[in-house]
Amino acid sequence: MVTKIWSQIEKGDVQPVYLLTGTEQHLLDETIKKLIKAVPGMTSSEVNRFDLEEIPIQAVLEVANEFPFLVDHKLIVAKNCSFLKATDQSKEKQNHQLDLLEKWLENPSPTATVVFVAPYEKLDARKKITKKIKKHAVVVEAVALQGQDISTWIMQQGKDKGIEFDKKTAEFLMEMSGTDLLTLATEVDKLAGYLAFKGAVDIDMIEQLVARTPEMDVFRLTDSFVNNKRAESIAVYHDLLRNGEEPIMLASLIASQVRLMIHVTNLRKKGYQQQQIATTLRIHPYRVKLMMQRKLPPLQVLLKALDDLATIDLQLKTTSGNRQRKLELFLMNGL
Amino acid sequence: MIYQALYRAYRPQAFGEMSGQQAIKQTLQNTLLHQKTTHAYLFSGPRGTGKTSAAKIFAKALNCENGPAAEPCNKCETCKSITEGSNTDVTEFDAASNSRVEEIRDIIERVHVAPSNARFKVYIIDEVHMLSNSAFNALLKTLEEPPAHVVFILATTEPHKLPLTIISRCQRFDFKPITAPEIIERMEKVIGDIGVTAETGALRAIAQAATGGMRDALSMLDQAVSFSGDELTTSDALLVTGAIGEEIFYQLAQSIQAKDAGSALSLLHELIAEGKDVGRLAEDMITFFRDMLLLGTAPELTDLLELISDGDKFQELAQEFHSDELYRYIDILSKTQQEMRFSNHGKVYIESALLKMIHSGEQRQVSTSAVDPEMAQKLAVLEQTVRQLQQQLATGAVQQAAEPQAPAKRAASTASRSAKVPTGKIVEVLKAATKSDIQVIREQWAGMMQSMQRSHAALLEETEPVAASEKAFVLKFKYEIHCLMASENATLQAGLSDALLRLTGKGYEVVYVAEESWLEVRADFIRKSGLASQKSKENPQQFEEEQPTSAFMEEASIEDADPLVTEAEKMFGKDFITIEE
For chain B, the C-alpha Rg in angstroms (whole number) is 45
pLDDT at B541: 46
Distance (Å) from the C-alpha of residue B352 to the closest C-alpha of chain A? Answer: 19
Q: Which of A24, A183, A184 to mutate to test the interface with B (most CBs of B within 10 A)?
A: A183
**Which chain B residues have a beta carbon less than 8 Å from that of A195?**
30
How far separated are the first and last CA of chain B, in Å rounded? 109
Name beta bridge partners: B198.
B232
CATH of the domain at A318: 1.20.272.10
Residue A280 clears pLDDT 80, i.e. is over it: yes
Shared domain for A326 and A243, answered yes or no, is yes
**CATH superfamily of the domain spanning B6-176:** P-loop containing nucleotide triphosphate hydrolases (3.40.50.300)
Domain that holds residue A133: 2-141
Domain ranges of chain B: 6-176, 182-359, 421-576
With CA atoms as reference, report the closest residue to B322 among B365, B374, B284, B355. B365
| Distance (Å, whole) CA B247 – CA A202 | 42
Domain C-terminal end among A209, A228, A249: A209
ipTM, interface predicted TM-score of the complex: 0.76
Shared domain for A246 and A319, answered yes or no, is yes
CATH of the domain at A86: 3.40.50.300
Confidence of residue A91 (pLDDT cuts 50, 70, 90): low
| Distance (Å, whole) CA B455 – CA B396 | 13
Interface of A with B (CB under 8 A): 25, 44-45, 47, 49, 180, 182-183, 186, 189-190, 192-197, 205, 208-209, 211-212, 214, 230-231, 234-235, 238, 242-245, 319-322, 325, 328-329, 332-334
Q: Which of A23, A195, A243, A328 to mutate to test the interface with B (most CBs of B within 10 A)?
A: A243
Report the residue from A49, A193, A205 with minimal CB separation from B31. Answer: A193
| Distance (Å, whole) CA B34 – CA B140 | 27
DSSP letter for each residue of A38-98: HSTT--GGG-EEEETTTS-HHHHHHHHHSPPSSSSSEEEEEE--GGGSSS---SS-----H
Q: How far is CA A122 from the centre of its chain?
A: 16
For chain A, the C-alpha Rg in angstroms (whole number) is 26
Chain segment A7-33, per-residue pLDDT in tens: 888 888 888 888 988 888 888 888 888
Check CB contact under 8 Å for B337 and A320.
yes
* Cβ neighbours around B547 below 10 Å, total: 11
A241 with A324: CB under 8 angstroms? yes
Q: Which of B41, B113, B171 to mutate to test the interface with A (most CBs of A within 10 A)?
A: B171
B555 with B436: CB under 8 angstroms? no
Name beta bridge partners: B90.
B122
Annotation: CATH topology of B182-359: Zinc Finger, Delta Prime; domain 3 (1.20.272)
| Distance (Å, whole) CA B62 – CA B158 | 26
What stretches in chain B show pLDDT beneath 50? 365-370, 400-419, 535-552, 558-559
| Distance (Å, whole) CA B284 – CA B261 | 19
Shared domain for A253 and A307, answered yes or no, is yes
Shared domain for A47 and A100, answered yes or no, is yes
**Which chain B residues have a beta carbon less than 8 Å from that of A190?**
27, 171-173
Q: Which of B62, B173, B297 to mutate to test the interface with A (most CBs of A within 10 A)?
A: B297
pLDDT at A30: 85
- What secondary structure letter does DSSP report for B17? G
**In the predicted model, what is the mean pLDDT of residues A55-62?**
86
**Which chain B residues have a beta carbon less than 8 Å from that of A199?**
none
| Distance (Å, whole) CA A300 – CA A313 | 20
Three-point CA angle B222, B225, B231, nearest 5° = 155
Three-point CA angle B47, B53, B56, nearest 5° = 140
- What secondary structure letter does DSSP report for A321? S
| Distance (Å, whole) CA A154 – CA B206 | 44
Check CB contact under 8 Å for A320 and B338.
yes
| Distance (Å, whole) CA B244 – CA B280 | 10
B479 with B514: CB under 8 angstroms? yes
**Which chain B residues have a beta carbon less than 8 Å from that of A324?**
none
Pairing of strands B463-468, B472-477: antiparallel
| Distance (Å, whole) CA B153 – CA B171 | 9
Shared domain for A246 and A317, answered yes or no, is yes
Number of domains within chain A = 3
B228 with B238: CB under 8 angstroms? no
CATH architecture of B421-576: 2-Layer Sandwich (3.30)
Report the residue from A189, A208, A238 with minimal CB separation from B38. Answer: A189
Check CB contact under 8 Å for A212 and B174.
yes
Distance (Å) from the C-alpha of residue A184 to the closest C-alpha of chain B? Answer: 9
pLDDT at B409: 44
Name beta bridge partners: A141.
A21
Domain C-terminal end among A95, A116, A141: A141
With CA atoms as reference, report the closest residue to A254 among A150, A335, A314, A197. A335
With CA atoms as reference, report the closest residue to B430 among B497, B567, B514, B524. B524
